[in-house]
Amino acid sequence: MKKIIKIIAVAFLLCSFQCFAESSVENDSKITSFQYVKKLNSVFDFVQQNYVDEIDPKILYEGALKGMLDAIGDPYTLYLDSDYMRDLNDTTSGSFGGVGLSISKAAESTPSKPAYVEVASPIEDTPGARAGIQAGDLISAIDGLPTPSMTMNEVLAHLRGEIGTPVTVTILRGSSMKFDVTLIRALIEVPTVKYGMIEGTKIGYARLIQFTPDTAQRLQDALDSFEKKGYEGLIIDLRDNPGGLITSAVDVADKFIDNGPIVSTKSRLLFENTQFSANKDKTTVRQGLPIVVLINKGAASASEIVSGALKDYHLAYLVGERTYGKGSVQQVIPLSNTDGIKITMARYYTPSDMNIDKIGIPPDEEIKNLADFNEDEEKLYVDMIKSEIISKAAEAKPNMTEADIAAEAVKVAKEYPIDQRIIRRLIRIQVQKTQPAVLYDLDYDLQLKAAINAVQNKEFANMLKNTKTLRQLQEEAEDSQPTDGKGLTASSSIKK
């Protein structure tokens, strides 16, 4: 009897496998979406009923969705489990617990290119920013656990936790700088705009930290304040601004642009094709005002919408470094009350009809705050961080003046001979850990100094007139470099 049952069971399994393989005899290109879904359902049922141990169907469901979306290879398209959805709701509501880093992570990890966590930007006045973590830094481990094998959900679970508890991240910076940073989790409040006049000038300075529903109004508050003080130039700082709402970016850009498209979204779905245009009644910045926009590799998404639009209309001069290059639009689709998916639905295009996804926007004047270290300088920098000489100096004299900071930097430089400007910056960060972030740091910030010089340049109008739109830059690149056969340069093209 047992033998008969065994034979029947084997026959059933053979039949099941035959059903799975049935359509694979045909050319895969002829298999319909419905047939693929049918296969998935068959495998789901088969595994649940026949695997050696009983399996919770939720595990199979979540694994299937994660695998399906990861297979696309888009870091912004992913499955959102209950923890991720809760974190997302906390973030969009304006506050959440964590370390204050805007991050991204590739879905696929290989030995030659590990999927480390990349810091898109630190959020101002948070543990990550106060610890000196920078845009472009890579996190190779969290509390000793390597990040390449983690999913984004696991990364967030490790970084976020009870307020007041520590988490240690291993930072990779440059080609070989590697060091640990311990962060104390805090309540993260999403800020919007900080502003003030540059001391000793008639230049208004507004730092846009993130694009929220309040950003445009907060910027208008800044502009009104500058107007009362008789400002003659304006600097908009978008560095390390990871983006936010596309509608907020449009409202900000509309204050400068009085006519024409600001940004358009394009998709294979007609209802996702939208053009956002300027409204003259919303334009509040007077024409002819010298305007500089500060950008760097931490400026992404909505920041690139604003900087790209102002560049294409020759309304602002861009100073700093190439932006991050996120030219796609995502939507969160709830699947239930507890989970959902985030999926890229469209790409956005600047007024000159260019998409900068994975490429970024180049500045009109490239300035780096940190010069590339040579191998010896990288080793000195890492040794200095590990020695804790900076933090010990700040702890020994917590209320340092600028003169104290400069004197301490001289002492540190005798043991670690690197640029004292960088040492002063590190000491200043430690001293200000328990204080609100300063509006600007002219001692360290070479990019801001260059922006001030540009605004004050008597030839500013000609400088601005001679800048090129993103389309012009692309066309020049196509004319001067070999192409890949599709009309785009092989390595640095801007998508049309």
Cβ neighbors of 380 (< 8 A, separation 6 or more) are 416, 417, 418
- Using CA of residue 99, residue 105, residue 111, residue 113, what is the dihedral sign? negative
Q: How far apart are CA 288 and CA 227, in angstroms?
A: 15
**pLDDT value at residue 408:** 95
Please, what CATH class does the domain formed by 94-189 belong to? mainly beta
**pLDDT value at residue 32:** 86
Separation of first and last alpha carbons in the chain: 70
Q: Domain 193-369 carries which CATH code?
A: 3.90.226.10
**pLDDT value at residue 496:** 46
CB atoms within 10 A of CB 314: 14
Domain ranges of the chain: 2-55, 94-189, 193-369, 375-444
Helices 2-22, 33-50: crossing angle, 10 deg rounding: 160
E strand map for 185-306: 186-189, 193-197, 203-208, 233-237, 261-266, 274-277, 291-295
- The maximal CA–CA distance of the chain, rounded, in angstroms, is 99
**pLDDT value at residue 91:** 52
Q: How far apart are CA 236 and CA 22, in angstroms?
A: 61
Mean pLDDT split into 10-residue runs, the chain, 496 residues: 48 49 55 89 93 94 92 91 69 66 81 87 86 89 93 85 91 86 87 93 96 95 97 97 93 98 95 94 96 96 97 98 95 89 95 95 95 86 91 86 94 94 91 76 96 98 97 89 44 42
Q: Closest Cα partner for 432 from 398, 475, 383?
A: 398
Residues with a known catalytic role? 301, 312, 326
97: exposed, middle or buried (C-beta count within 10 Å: 0-12, 13-18, 19+)? middle
DSSP string, 353-389: S-B-TTT----SEE--SSPPP-HHHHHHHHHHHHHTH
**pLDDT value at residue 27:** 59
Cβ neighbors of 296 (< 8 A, separation 6 or more) are 135, 239, 240, 320, 321, 323, 447
Q: How far apart are CA 92 and CA 69, in angstroms?
A: 23
